[in-house]
Amino acid sequence: MTTTPLKLGFIGLGIMGTPMAGHLRAAGHELHVATRSTIPQALLDAGATACGNAQEVAAAADIIFMMVPDTPDVERVLFGNHGVAAGLVAGKTVVDMSSISPLATKDFAGKINALGCDYLDAPVSGGEVGAKAASLTIMVGGPEAAFQRALPLLQLMGKNITLVGGNGDGQTTKVANQIIVALNIAAVAEALVFASKAGADPAKVRLALMGGFASSRILEVHGERMIKRTFNPGFRIGLHQKDLNLALQGARALGVSLPQTANAAQLMQACAANGMAELDHSALVRSLEIMAAHQVAQG
């Protein structure tokens, strides 16, 4: 953990970005922030400096973090009108913590490198809970030297931090993570719908399974959400759909078949078509409940 205050920037202050930026400021670093909506008052009260756009953030900071929803958003923040690129000078570092296309990431990194700056793709896993607890898993792609400079700052936001490889490899790892998570959610959802429709108590079924080989973090956390009907978003279906689309686009480019990923994407699409894109991704169970004409539990 660094002891000398650094000049940092953070762009994108949503559900994840706000607590992540807060950890950087709480460690005593100078923090310049910008976001599309209103900057949270708590960050301003903590001493963060509000900037009018991404260019101002990049001009004021030596290391600039981004946490925005999708590939076009990152491109806009970096290279749009008053974007990060316009505020950079050689020697600065850009760290994109969004979850976006690995191929686009390589292109973005090349353009930032051409300005004499380093680029790290550092997507995260752990959701809102992990962001608030500074316990995120962070998967990083980029040069070793830039990673080592950013590591003390990443450690303020996460616990399991791995330099996977070059630019794009962090995003590839995040896509792989989202495949695993989606398929596990679908498996837990199918099991609980089956058990409940068969007449068993789904809460007791879940407890029994937690003690066996089927136990998982998804069964523990998201299985409970399915039973208690607590679908307030920690990670929205709409965002997980985006990540699975990245997986399927990549699979087509690589000539790889991902049949279970495609199925999970369709289940999420069914939820979105029924107005549930803003619910937590554990609400994938609703698509199966609709097909079964049976709800796992009453909420």
User: Are 88 and 117 contacting, i.e. CB atoms less than 8 angstroms apart?
Assistant: yes
Q: Which residues contact 233 (CB under 8 A, 6 or more apart)?
A: 15, 128, 278, 279, 280
Query: d(Cα 201, Cα 21) in Å, to the nearest integer?
Result: 42
Catalytic residue among 174, 197, 204, 242: 174
User: Are 25 and 47 contacting, i.e. CB atoms less than 8 angstroms apart?
Assistant: yes
Write down the residue that tokens 């950013």 correspond to: 150
Q: In the structure encoding, which two tokens stand for residue 214, read together?
A: 């089927």
User: Are 32 and 5 contacting, i.e. CB atoms less than 8 angstroms apart?
Assistant: no
To the nearest 10 degrees (0 to 180), the angle between helices 102-113 and 237-254 is: 90
If you write DSSP's letter for every residue of 162-193 in order, what string do you get? EEEESTTHHHHHHHHHHHHHHHHHHHHHHHHH
Among residues 170, 151, 171, 166, the alpha carbon closest in space to that of 63 is found at: 151
Query: d(Cα 12, Cα 39) in Å, to the nearest integer?
Result: 9
How many Cα atoms sit within 13 Å of 164 on the Cβ side? 21
The alpha helices in the chain, defined as continuous H runs, are: 17-26, 41-45, 54-60, 71-79, 84-87, 102-113, 127-133, 144-154, 169-197, 202-210, 217-228, 237-254, 259-273, 285-292
- Is 174 noted as a catalytic residue in this protein? yes
**Which amino acid is present at 221?**
V
Active-site residue set: 174
